[in-house]
């Protein structure tokens, strides 16, 4: 049993994250995806009295749950919690006068709490409003997105973010009638567009695609990777847990080449310019025992890298 599990979320690859991230026990670390605070609790336990963690999440449910759970650390000043999007990392840290850090964790995607709360609209297994916003203060829900898109735009989203082979026919069906208001209505339209054996996987892909679009997930990931490069001190670390190949591919390229094109860059002398040194050639994955205890960890891929000295 993972000691850092809470009813909110079970942190994935917890030991590997802490061992891989914490180099200085009196350092300053950022958990940019605080969720239920499981990884943050483990990080705080690994630090000594001089160490601190800043926890960031764009979801107010996460901020409330983690702040309650970790209130003792907040009181002693070892944990500071900020609600915001990690796409604004330099600004968020600037409010705490922090301009350099020793490590950052990104545990991407949604928490179990978000997924299991029907009213948040993330799951095709639960009926609820077609919302899917991680930050409920932003304007556009999944329902609003479907009301705004034309067929071509929706097809592209399903193809690009869901890698959905039937993107064209599903987009056509989704826009043919009234805008679906609930996850059930959306699911019924999608189910009508595919044969029964493929329904479950198609629903997962369509929901993933809309969620990524609603929350701009790939753009904000690219932004935070660039900002982390500026913020993490040489010798400091980054840990990223991705749950699907769209994210993992971007993380892998960025940590290997320092850019998202996946092409090496060289200086005038022909030396490779690479701000990060990947720690492992292959991503770390949960072992059988972890997957058996937490099936949602099955697709997790952890990549770790060290910030190299500035040229």
Ligand X SMILES: C[S@@+](CC[C@H](N)C(=O)[O-])C[C@H]1O[C@@H](n2cnc3c(N)ncnc32)[C@H](O)[C@@H]1O
Question: Tokens 């010798």 correspond to what residue?
Answer: 235
Nearest approach, Cβ of residue 8 and ligand X (Å): 6
Question: Do residues 138 and 176 make contact, with C-beta atoms less than 8 angstroms apart?
Answer: no
CA nearest neighbour of 228 among 94, 103, 71: 103
Q: Is 109 in the site for ligand X (CB under 6 A)?
A: yes
Nearest approach, Cβ of residue 130 and ligand X (Å): 18
Q: Is 58 in the site for ligand X (CB under 6 A)?
A: yes
Given the rule CB under 6 A, which of 54-62, 171-179, 203-211, 288-296 is the region that contacts ligand X? 54-62
191 vs 97, 121, 124, 237, CA distance in Å?
51, 17, 11, 44
CA distance 222 to 87: 8
Q: Is 82 in the site for ligand X (CB under 6 A)?
A: no
Given the rule CB under 6 A, which of 50-58, 140-148, 263-271, 272-280 is the region that contacts ligand X? 50-58
Nearest approach, Cβ of residue 110 and ligand X (Å): 6
Identify which of residues 59 and 227 has a Cβ nearer to ligand X in the complex: 59
CA distance 274 to 255: 8
Cα 280–Cα 285–Cα 287 angle in degrees, nearest 5? 130
Nearest approach, Cβ of residue 135 and ligand X (Å): 8
CA distance 139 to 222: 22
Cα 243–Cα 58–Cα 277 angle in degrees, nearest 5? 50
Half-sphere exposure for 50 (CA within 13 Å, toward CB): 5
Instruction: Return all residues near 126 (Cβ < 8 A) that are at least 6 apart.
Output: 116, 118, 183
Instruction: List the x/- string, 213-252, binding to ligand X by CB under 6 A.
Output: -------x--------------------------------
CB count in 10 Å sphere of residue 1: 6
Q: Is 56 in the site for ligand X (CB under 6 A)?
A: yes
Q: Is 123 in the site for ligand X (CB under 6 A)?
A: no
Q: Is 55 in the site for ligand X (CB under 6 A)?
A: no
Strand 52-57 with 28-31, pairing: parallel
Can you tell me which of 21, 47, 85, 145 binds ligand X, judged by CB under 6 A? 85
Can you tell me which of 44, 52, 53, 57 binds ligand X, judged by CB under 6 A? 57
Tokens at 169, concatenated = 């026919």
Strand 52-57 with 101-107, pairing: unpaired
Number of residues that bind ligand X (CB under 6 A): 22
Q: Is 111 in the site for ligand X (CB under 6 A)?
A: yes
Interacting residues with ligand X between 143 and 182 (CB under 6 A): none
Q: Is 104 in the site for ligand X (CB under 6 A)?
A: no
Can you tell me which of 28, 30, 44, 62 binds ligand X, judged by CB under 6 A? 62
Q: Is 11 in the site for ligand X (CB under 6 A)?
A: yes
Binding footprint of ligand X on the chain (CB under 6 A): 9, 11, 33, 35-39, 56-59, 62, 85-87, 107, 109-111, 134, 220
């Amino acid at each position: 049993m993972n000691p850092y599990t809470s009813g909110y979320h079970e942190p994935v690859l917890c030991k590997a994250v802490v061992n891989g991230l914490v180099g200085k026990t009196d350092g300053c670390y950022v958990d940019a995806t605080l969720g239920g605070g499981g990884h943050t609790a483990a990080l705080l336990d690994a630090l000594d009295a001089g160490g601190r963690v800043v926890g960031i999440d764009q979801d107010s449910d996460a901020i409330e749950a983690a702040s309650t759970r970790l209130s003792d650390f907040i009181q002693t000043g070892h944990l500071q919690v900020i609600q915001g999007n990690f796409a604004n990392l330099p600004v968020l840290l600037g409010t705490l006068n922090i301009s350099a850090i020793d490590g950052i964790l990104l545990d991407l995607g949604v928490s179990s709490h978000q997924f299991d709360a029907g009213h948040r609209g993330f799951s095709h297994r639960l009926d609820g409003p077609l919302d899917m916003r991680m930050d409920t203060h932003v304007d556009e829900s999944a329902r609003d997105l479907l009301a705004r898109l034309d067929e071509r735009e929706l097809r592209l989203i399903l193809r690009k973010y869901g890698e959905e082979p039937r993107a064209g026919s599903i987009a056509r069906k989704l826009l043919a009638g009234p805008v679906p208001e609930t996850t059930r209505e959306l699911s019924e339209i999608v189910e009508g567009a595919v044969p029964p054996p493929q329904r479950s996987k198609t629903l997962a892909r369509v929901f993933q695609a809309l969620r990524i679009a609603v929350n701009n997930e790939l753009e904000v990931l690219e932004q935070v990777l660039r900002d982390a490069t500026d913020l993490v001190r040489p010798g400091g670390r980054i840990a990223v847990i991705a749950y699907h190949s769209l994210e993992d591919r971007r993380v892998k390229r960025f940590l290997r080449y320092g850019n998202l094109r996946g092409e090496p860059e060289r200086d005038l002398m022909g030396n490779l310019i690479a701000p990060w040194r990947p720690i492992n050639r292959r991503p770390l994955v949960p072992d059988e025992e972890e997957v058996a205890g937490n099936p949602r960890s099955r697709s997790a891929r952890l990549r770790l890298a060290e910030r190299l000295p500035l040229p």
